[in-house]
């Protein structure tokens, strides 16, 4: 296979590239006939070997994430351009912060509302992310226990536990002993490329679940909130260029009004049991569950005093 030679225009651009590694990478891409995005032609300063090596180590995770976004169908070049445009436009604007709740004291959970996952689509998902694709809450917990006790052998021994979604007959048998065993099983299936970033579990008679989901969309990602009752209705939708911060996710969750409403309804009937009625969890925000556990406890304490 013949190698393509640089065009006069490419030779002119190459003459402005002083970084040896950038120049070599561009030449290889030209020889292979690959399409080179505009941002790849921006000159990178030439660095000493040890500094270049450290820079490569820092950039490697970012490159993996960008590749993961590209594989998920995200317009990476548009994504980067839009981030740069918004950074320029908002450089002098104050950053809005989300109130993380009651002040932290000894014995309380330290919560960072500015925490942001690097990506919702890691190339090598951890166990929590893989389990988050299982719709049923009871099956998800059982799958986690099986993995802890049996390791990878559990996948072959209990395949039904690790199935993302059950067919109607299997779901009926699964819930034959108690309706709670089908908690989350009636949620809509995940769309292509979609992941669950958080869920609310309610200790109601029917053990209801509300799922918060993200999927690639254009130069960024779109979020939707769904429940188990009307599979054609999306409770809430919004977009972002990058994964939400923990504070932004809390805004999304609180914006549904579900937790306040459920606590208010159940506090009047069973104030001593209200604390265990709502559970919030996430595979991408590990402190979210602790945050809402304290938030609910504070809500109940204030209601008792009020």
Q: Is 296 within a domain?
A: no
Residue 108 CB contacts under 8 Å (≥ 6 apart), including other chains: 102, 294
- The predicted model scores a pTM of 0.62
CA–CA dist 125, 143 (Å, integer): 16
Give the containing element (helix H, strand E) for 195: strand 195-202
At 211 the pLDDT is: 93
Q: Is 153 within a domain?
A: no
- Could you tell me the residue range of the domain that residue 35 belongs to? 14-46
Q: Is 28 within a domain?
A: yes
CA–CA dist 33, 295 (Å, integer): 56
Q: Is 38 within a domain?
A: yes
pLDDT for residue 15 is more than 50:
yes
At 55 the pLDDT is: 59
280 bridge partner residues: 200
CA 273, 234, 114, 288 dihedral sign is: positive
> In the chain, which residue ranges form alpha helices assigned H by DSSP?
8-14, 20-31, 49-71, 76-89, 127-131, 137-150, 153-157, 168-174, 246-255, 258-269, 288-305
At 179 the pLDDT is: 65
Q: Is 100 within a domain?
A: no
pLDDT band for position 77 (50/70/90)?
A: low
The total number of structural domains that make up the chain: 1
């Amino acid at each position: 296979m013949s190698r393509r030679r640089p065009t006069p225009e490419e030779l002119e651009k190459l003459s402005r590239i002083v970084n040896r590694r950038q120049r070599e990478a561009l030449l290889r891409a030209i020889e292979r006939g690959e399409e080179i995005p505009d941002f790849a032609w921006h000159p990178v300063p030439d660095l000493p070997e040890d500094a270049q090596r450290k820079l490569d180590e820092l950039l490697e995770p970012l490159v993996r994430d960008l590749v993961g976004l590209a594989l998920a169908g995200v317009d990476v070049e548009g994504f980067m351009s839009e981030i740069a445009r918004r950074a320029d436009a908002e450089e002098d604007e104050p950053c809005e912060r989300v109130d993380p709740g009651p002040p932290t004291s000894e014995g309380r959970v330290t919560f960072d509302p500015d925490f942001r996952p690097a990506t919702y689509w890691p190339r090598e998902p951890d166990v929590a992310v893989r389990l988050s694709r299982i719709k049923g809450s009871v099956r998800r917990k059982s799958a986690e226990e099986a993995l802890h006790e049996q390791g990878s052998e559990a996948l072959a021994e209990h395949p039904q536990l690790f199935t993302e979604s059950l067919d109607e007959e299997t779901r009926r048998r699964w819930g034959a002993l108690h309706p709670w065993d089908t908690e989350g099983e009636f949620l809509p299936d995940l769309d292509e490329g979609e992941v669950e970033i958080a869920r609310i579990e309610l200790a109601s008679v029917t053990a209801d679940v509300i799922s918060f989901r993200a999927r690639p969309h254009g130069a960024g990602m779109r979020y939707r909130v769904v429940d188990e009752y009307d599979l054609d209705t999306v409770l809430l939708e919004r977009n972002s260029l990058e994964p939400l911060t923990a504070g932004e996710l809390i805004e999304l969750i609180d914006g549904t009004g579900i937790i306040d409403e459920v606590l208010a309804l159940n506090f009047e009937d069973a104030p001593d049991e209200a604390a265990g009625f709502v559970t919030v969890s996430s595979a991408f925000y590990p402190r979210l569950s602790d945050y809402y556990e304290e938030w609910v406890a504070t809500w109940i304490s204030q209601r008792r005093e009020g």
